[in-house]
Amino acid sequence: MSDHLTCLVKGNLPLANLLWGKVYYKDIFAGILREEPGDRTSFEYDPTYLNTGNPVISYTMPIESMIHISQAGLHPFFDNLVAEGWLEHAQSRLLNKRHVSRFELLLAFGYDCAGAVSIADPEPARLTKQLLDMSDSKEMAVLTSRASLSGIQPKLAVVAREGKYYPATVGELSTHIAKFPSSGHADLTINEYLTSIAFKALLPDDDVVDLSIEAIEGITEPALITKRFDRTLEGRIHFEEFNQLLNRKSSSKYDGSHKEMSDFIRTVKDCLPIENYRLYARILAGLLLGNTDMHFKNFAMFHTPAGLRLTPSYDQVSAVLYQYKTIALAIGGASNMQIGNLKPKNLITMADEFALPRAAVSMLFKQLSRNKSDAKDAILSSSIGHNNIKDQLIKLMDARWNGTFALIGQTLSMKQ
Ligand SMILES: Nc1ncnc2c1ncn2[C@@H]1O[C@H](COP(=O)(O)OP(=O)(O)O)[C@@H](O)[C@H]1O
Ligand SMILES: [Mg+2]
């Protein structure tokens, strides 16, 4: 233990008020995360962790350096693990303070995070349910779960047991994520379900999260359940969202371009070129379905011994149905692009930015053209969802196809 830490543990002033936590990779102690004077924080790898050949906890924290300093607040890797939106608010109320920092949230709810890293508070904060809305069963479930899940939509970490789903309890690792409709968008979960099955039909060779609409024990509303791709019977699997891989804080998830993700894949050692093509195909299928919310936290890569690989696709929602018309990230050099203004040249410029061969792009458009009727069938034959939302989705897919995608072949051959 470093002198600095010894000093913290002994409670010497003035460092006694600074926060710190133990960081684990799977079940292995990996190092210490601590608040430093000023707004800085640091993560220091444990020498034993490094000496025994363990992997990096983040692509942005290479093991060549024992200590990683963040000049303002949490390092982006940790910042992106913290809850956002509905869950962040519920967790903040449990800590019963007027202002709760992201470090405090991570310490209190860092047991069950995205990926294989977890954070343990040596002196766990006392939680209180006084400020929770007792009439909201999903809000009450936050009291027992110790999960940090990002994203704005109301969600809970849940556990599957003998065909039923339960909110995760203290010390329990979740197996699934339950998402609920948000106050303004009652059919949000149905939208995500239908958009995801249509997406799967458009790209049948790609991976999309398994999802279904299910009841959660003790919770009044049904939820959209997705199987966690970062959990197996053996425990945690590591992945990072692109926001982490690109070293951005959670709040910067909209600041940038699709090209940056492609540049990352094409320059990082051991990333396969096919991942670059898969990424492009996912962006196209998402746009065809009106998903304007594809920001840097909605794409991610697994850490595997062979290198970084895309995780299954998740959070496919036709946000256009709620009038979110601006495409989240810059596309083909254009920022704040309205999806209705998307031209074939924007998609082709993006393919050039991704350095994709024209033949591959042309093949992809042919595949989408062939598969769009399967996507419509998947929507129409779904036992989940009413006719109104199904019709809306199909209409917008047709409009996008006719307005942009159908003209690609022509534009490509003109360019050639
Ligand atoms: N099936 C999954 N397995 C593991 N992690 C997931 C899965 N789905 C989402 N996540 C993680 O949870 C975060 C929030 O989920 P997401 O579906 O994007 O919610 P929101 O719609 O609120 O943005 C994602 O950014 C990702 O890190
Ligand atoms: Mg999301």
- Across the chain, which has 416 residues, the per-10-residue mean pLDDT values are 41 64 98 96 97 96 95 98 92 87 96 97 85 80 86 93 94 95 91 98 97 94 97 96 98 98 96 96 98 98 97 98 97 95 95 95 95 98 97 97 90 70
Q: Which of 183, 206, 231 is the last residue of a domain?
A: 231
Backbone torsions φ then ψ of 173, nearest 5 degrees: -90, 130
- pLDDT at residue 1 in the model: 41
Same domain, yes or no, for 322 and 398? Answer: yes
Same domain, yes or no, for 152 and 214? Answer: yes
Q: Which CATH number fits the domain that encloses residue 266? A: 1.10.1070.20
Same domain, yes or no, for 292 and 308? Answer: yes
Domain count, the chain: 3
- pLDDT at residue 411 in the model: 78
Question: Ligand 1 pocket, 241 CB below 6 A?
Answer: yes
Same domain, yes or no, for 158 and 24? Answer: no
Same domain, yes or no, for 265 and 276? Answer: yes
Q: How far is the CA of 151 from the centre of ligand 2 (A)?
A: 5
- pLDDT at residue 313 in the model: 98
Same domain, yes or no, for 183 and 258? Answer: no
Nearest CA owner, ligand 1 atom 11: 114
- pLDDT at residue 413 in the model: 72
- pLDDT at residue 41 in the model: 98
Q: Which of 129, 150, 168 is the last residue of a domain?
A: 129
Same domain, yes or no, for 40 and 179? Answer: no
Distances (CA, A) of 263 to 259, 299, 307: 6, 14, 16
Please report the atom of ligand 1 found closest to the CA of residue 226. Answer: 1
Question: Ligand 1 pocket, 34 CB below 6 A?
Answer: no
Please report the atom of ligand 1 found closest to the CA of residue 210. Answer: 1
Same domain, yes or no, for 403 and 261? Answer: yes
Ligand approaching nearest to the C-alpha of 301: 1
Nearest CA owner, ligand 1 atom 7: 228
Domain extent for 209: 130-231
Which residues touch 234 (CB under 8 Å, ≥6 apart)? none
Nearest CA owner, ligand 1 atom 19: 151
Same domain, yes or no, for 212 and 278? Answer: no
- pLDDT at residue 211 in the model: 95
- pLDDT at residue 7 in the model: 39
- DSSP bridge pairs for 303: 308
Pocket test for ligand 1, best of 80, 82, 149 (most atoms within 8 A of CB): 149
Q: How far is the CA of 253 from the centre of ligand 1 (A)?
A: 14
Question: Ligand 1 pocket, 291 CB below 6 A?
Answer: no
Same domain, yes or no, for 298 and 217? Answer: no
Q: Which of 65, 98, 129 is the last residue of a domain?
A: 129
Q: How far is the CA of 84 from the centre of ligand 2 (A)?
A: 10
- pLDDT at residue 271 in the model: 92
Please give the model's pTM, rounded to 2 decimal places: 0.94
Same domain, yes or no, for 405 and 266? Answer: yes
Looking at beta carbons, which pairs linking 228-236 to residues 24 or more positions away fall under 8 Å? Answer: 228/174, 228/175, 228/176, 228/177, 229/302, 229/311, 229/312, 229/314, 230/114, 230/115, 230/116, 230/311, 231/173, 231/174, 231/175, 235/26, 235/27, 235/116, 235/173, 236/26, 236/115, 236/116, 236/118, 236/173
Helix (H) or strand (E) holding 231: strand 231-232
Question: Ligand 1 pocket, 207 CB below 6 A?
Answer: no
Same domain, yes or no, for 284 and 409? Answer: yes
- pLDDT at residue 15 in the model: 53
Ligand approaching nearest to the C-alpha of 84: 1
Nearest CA owner, ligand 1 atom 2: 228
Are the CB atoms for 159 and 166 separated by under 8 Å?
A: yes
